[in-house]
Structure 1
Amino acid sequence: MPNLALELGKQTANIGVGSVYGEQQDVGGITLIPVALTWTGFGGGEDSDGNSGGGGGGYAIPVGAYVRTGDDLRFEPNLVSLVAVGIPFVWVVGRALSRVIRALKK
């Protein structure tokens, strides 16, 4: 397989779409479309002897769902997941701001 990285890319091109938006579900006249935040990474390589290898991994966080009732469409967040994602984000932003403020005081 001369271009292992290209082959991995072709085989996994649509994995993000299937991971982020699940199949639509109809429950008691209400339509639910789940939404998730995902990260994926793949890599591959080949040495001069022709030995090749590759691998990958991913992570998904359920963010919520779009809920449709008749003509009304709204987003219902998964609060536990949003807090789990939000806390590290707020920490990083706070840390960056403190460093910027400290640098501006000098």
Structure 2
Amino acid sequence: MSESFSSLVDTFKNVGVSRAYGPAMNIAGEEVIPVAVVTFGFGGGSSTEDAQAGGGSGGGGGGLVLPLGVYAKGASGRMRFRPNTVVVLVALAPLVCAVGVSLRGILRTVRPRR
């Protein structure tokens, strides 16, 4: 199990900014660099009991990639961010819900009792 875990750690050691920004591409005369939110996690465990007594080991992992948009360099040579509106709206949904719940709590506290 420790060898498998070590190989996983070595595999994900260099994951970072290079995964969030893609390679520059030329599309319709415009240079674009894709931008994404990249997250992943993994874990594992084992038991000190022998396999006959119900002990064992296991592991798992998963990841998520949200394409946020692209940095585009137009004919003027200026870079600007062009968001993927669908993903940005989905990513903001939890924030909007949290603000709504907070406002409801504040209004209930401030409102005079009858």
TM-score of the aligned structures, taking structure 1 as reference length: 0.75
For 1:71, the equivalent position in structure 2 comes to: 77
| Deviation readout 1:39-70 (Å, 9 max, x if unpaired) | 31211112214843221111111110000135
Secondary structure at 1:15's aligned position in 2? coil
Deviation at 1:2, TM superposition (A): 3.1
1:1-106 correspondence runs (5 A): 1-2=1-2, 5=5, 7-48=7-48, 49=50, 51-69=56-74, 71-103=77-109
Change (3 A) 1:5 1:105: farther
For the aligned residue pairs, the C-alpha RMSD in angstroms reads 2.8
CA distance in 2, matches of 1:13, 1:79: 31
Larger radius of gyration: 2
What residue ranges of structure 1 are gaps of 5+ in the alignment? none
**Identity between Structure 1 and Structure 2 (%):** 37
Count of paired positions: 106
Point out the structure with the larger strand share: 1
Q: What residue identity is the alignment partner of 1:21?
A: Y
